[in-house]
């Protein structure tokens, strides 16, 4: 049965997408807001995930182009990582249809907790460029594709994972790390979206309305990244990670 949304519901979903686009640009985790909202609207889970990828892709594209225009990243720097993220996500989207993901659901809260604690307890992380812990090739050929694979396979917190890898492993400052993370997240979103388009799981009208909200939210979030810097980004990353952990615990009956 096809999902049909009333005009009032479409307006609400557009507003939710705007807020999610703003948060996702700063810290990742926008899907924490949009996917539960779509499910509360009685959209079937698989359609909700697929439709979320449609609107999320527009949001990550907008923030990427805006940050590129603001010179927070360069095409030369992000081209190869984006290709790596795209390939990883495409593989993840194929594999997720073949195996049980329950084990990964258990692991995710612990990884998100590590990210939150890292930025909470290491206040200097991302404030300045630092010496990289791993080389460019290793990061691009192993770390980025693995995170992309995770995005295609499961998804929550992908933007935070990309940001953490840039700060902790490549020594980036938090503004540059966030900008690069949005570009890689756009690539991984686009790869997963292609798979869902072929699968025919997207609710196009809802996705289109939410994409408009995402466009505006992502643009405003991109301006906040440039204007607020690490002072704004760091606490939001921590809050979003803990919020995702709380949602997981509540969803699985632990709270």
pLDDT at 34 over 60: yes
Across the range 102-110, mean pLDDT stands at: 63
Handedness of CA 181, 183, 186, 187 (dihedral sign): negative
Q: Can you list the alpha helix ranges (DSSP code H) found in the chain?
A: 7-27, 31-40, 45-69, 75-95, 102-121, 136-138, 144-153, 158-164, 174-199, 204-251
Q: Nearest CA to 90 among 236, 244, 193?
A: 193
Q: pLDDT at position 160, please? A: 80
What is the C-alpha separation between 17 and 34, in angstroms, rounded? 6
Model confidence pLDDT, tens digit, residues 218-244: 999 888 877 766 567 667 777 777 877
- Residue ranges per domain, the chain? 7-251
Model confidence pLDDT, tens digit, residues 52-99: 889 989 999 999 999 898 888 899 999 999 999 999 999 988 887 676
Q: pLDDT at position 230, please? A: 58
Which has the minimum average pLDDT: 12-16, 40-44, 201-205? Answer: 40-44
Q: Nearest CA to 183 among 55, 46, 86, 94?
A: 86
* pTM score of the predicted model: 0.78
Q: pLDDT at position 167, please? A: 87
Q: What is the mean pLDDT of the chain?
A: 83
Model confidence pLDDT, tens digit, residues 166-183: 988 998 888 888 889 999
Identify whether the C-beta of residue 180 lies closer than 8 Å to the C-beta of residue 172.
yes
Identify whether the C-beta of residue 189 lies closer than 8 Å to the C-beta of residue 148.
no
What is the C-alpha separation between 69 and 66, in angstroms, rounded? 5
Give the other-Cβ count within 10 Å of 250's Cβ: 10
């Amino acid at each position: 049965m096809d999902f049909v949304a009333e005009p009032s519901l479409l307006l609400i979903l557009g507003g939710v997408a705007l807020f999610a686009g703003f948060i996702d640009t700063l810290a990742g985790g926008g899907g924490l807001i949009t996917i539960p909202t779509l499910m509360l609207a009685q959209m079937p889970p698989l359609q909700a995930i697929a439709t979320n990828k449609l609107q999320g892709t527009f949001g990550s594209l907008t923030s990427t182009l805006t940050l590129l225009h603001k010179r927070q990243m360069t095409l030369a720097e992000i081209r190869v990582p984006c290709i790596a993220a795209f390939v990883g996500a495409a593989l993840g989207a194929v594999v997720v249809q073949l195996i049980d993901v329950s084990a990964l659901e258990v692991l995710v809260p612990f990884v998100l907790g590590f990210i939150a604690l890292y930025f909470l307890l290491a206040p200097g992380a991302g404030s300045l460029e630092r010496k990289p812990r791993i080389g460019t090739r290793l990061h691009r050929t192993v770390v980025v594709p693995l995170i992309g694979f995770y995005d295609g396979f499961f998804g929550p917190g992908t933007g935070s994972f990309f940001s953490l890898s840039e700060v902790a492993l490549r020594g980036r400052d938090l503004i540059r790390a966030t900008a690069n993370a949005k570009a890689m997240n756009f690539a991984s979103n686009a790869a997963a979206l292609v798979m869902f388009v072929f699968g025919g799981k997207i609710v196009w009208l809802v996705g289109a309305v939410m994409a408009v909200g995402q466009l505006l939210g992502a643009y405003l979030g991109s301006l906040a990244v440039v204007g607020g810097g690490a002072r704004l980004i760091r606490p939001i990353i921590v809050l979003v990670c803990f919020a995702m952990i709380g949602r997981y615990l509540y969803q699985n009956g632990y709270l």
